[in-house]
Amino acid sequence: MKFELLSTDSSSRARAGTLALPRAAVETPAFMPVGTRATVKAMTTDELEGLGYRLILANTFHLALRPGDEVIRDLGGLHRFQAWPHAILTDSGGFQVFSLAELRRVTDHGVVFQSPLDGDRIELTPERAIEIQENLGADIIMAFDECSPGGCGEREAEQAVARTTLWLHRCLEAKRREDQWLFGIVQGGIHLPLRERSAKEIVACDCPGYAIGGLSVGEPKAQMWPALETVTTHLPENRPRYLMGVGTPGDLVRGIDLGVDLFDCVLPTRNARNGQVFTRQGIVQIRHACHRTDPGPLDSSCSCETCRLYSRAYLRHLHQSNEILGHRLLTLHNLAFLRVLMAEARHAILDGSWTQWRDEKLTQWETPVDSLPGEA
């Protein structure tokens, strides 16, 4: 396993590199599709591979509940279980526990919560999070962390920072497998001194990579970017940086500009199922009546199967009829769009045109032509 930094833009922190993993070489910056329950919704693994993806996500929390991490281990591990020959990153479950606020109790030892499946009492600790991820067999695994809500007070954020550092030390002690990279996670909410403190504490543990958590969880964008900039300032240049849960095209561009290498988000798949798609002209809501008789493709500059073969009128018909094919075709396009966006960003960094490319994309994506209010 190796991360090689190839180029850094001279006027920003944008960077291009290669992340070499046992099952894949991942060109960065890169977006990672989310396959929470060992499936990227509506997509086959052949389709993901055909789009050019080599690194996807799965979720520790959900797979431990169903079908069970030991079941997956006994069936040969997550790669074989879901027929994915390339690299996998598993989230530790910290964010999912965060989302179960009404069902959980957090202490320094770990988290006790009610299963959302059957109400059973379950305990998740740093040691258990590592055990699950080792059973799953992912290439990159995440430390168990406490994610504080967006806009939380300094005291609550500080407590999350302290626990996240404590839990990383316990994760490192619990880790047994040598063929997995364990990433530490930086927390601290929107409080810049806490972000700096967390980054320094996590970097002191000398992890092979670092994630930035607790952003895009409800805080205003105007507070998100300074927090991210503070973190990347204090992360080592020679380790990969992963911004968790960010996935709009505009946010990806801004994240790259601030020095992020890896991203993930459910947005392209979830929004596709709701009829929202990314195009060169901005966000398109396929359910809008203006597409009812439109014979053109979603995006005339896109070469994905959806854009090559199907009209906006047909895609709107599928969506309005709640046909499964509509979900699949829109999901395929959104994932294809982000894959191309990342490839273009990498090319712009490598050939020295990043600043111009960045400004064009931000102008395009921060003034969408066909979006719902508040969804720009």
Per-residue pLDDT of the chain (376 residues; tens, 9 = 90+): 999 999 999 999 999 999 999 999 999 999 999 999 999 999 999 999 999 999 999 999 999 999 999 999 999 999 999 999 999 999 998 887 777 777 788 999 999 988 888 888 889 999 999 999 999 999 999 999 999 888 899 999 999 999 999 999 999 999 999 999 999 999 999 999 999 999 999 999 999 999 999 999 999 999 999 999 999 999 999 999 999 999 999 999 999 999 999 999 999 999 999 999 999 989 999 999 999 999 999 999 999 999 999 999 999 999 999 999 999 999 999 999 999 999 999 999 999 999 999 999 999 888 544 433 333 2
In this structure, what DSSP letter does residue 149 have?
P
Are residues 72 and 63 in contact, defined by beta-carbon separation less than 8 angstroms?
A: yes
Among this protein's residues, is 264 annotated catalytic? yes
- Supply the CATH classification number for the domain 2-265: 3.20.20.105
Tokens standing for 286?
């396929």
Among this protein's residues, is 91 annotated catalytic? yes
Q: Where in the chain is the domain with CATH 3.20.20.105?
A: 2-265
Sign, CA torsion 227/17/185/116: positive
Helix (H, G, I), strand (E, B) or coil at 364: helix
Catalytic, out of 91, 139, 257, 261: 91
**How many other CB atoms are there within 10 angstroms of residue 363's CB atom?**
10
Taken as a whole, the chain contains a residue count of 376
121/123 Cα distance (integer angstroms): 7
Catalytic, out of 145, 251, 261, 264: 264
* Residue whose entry in the numeric block shows the structure tokens 């997995």: 180
242/185 Cα distance (integer angstroms): 9
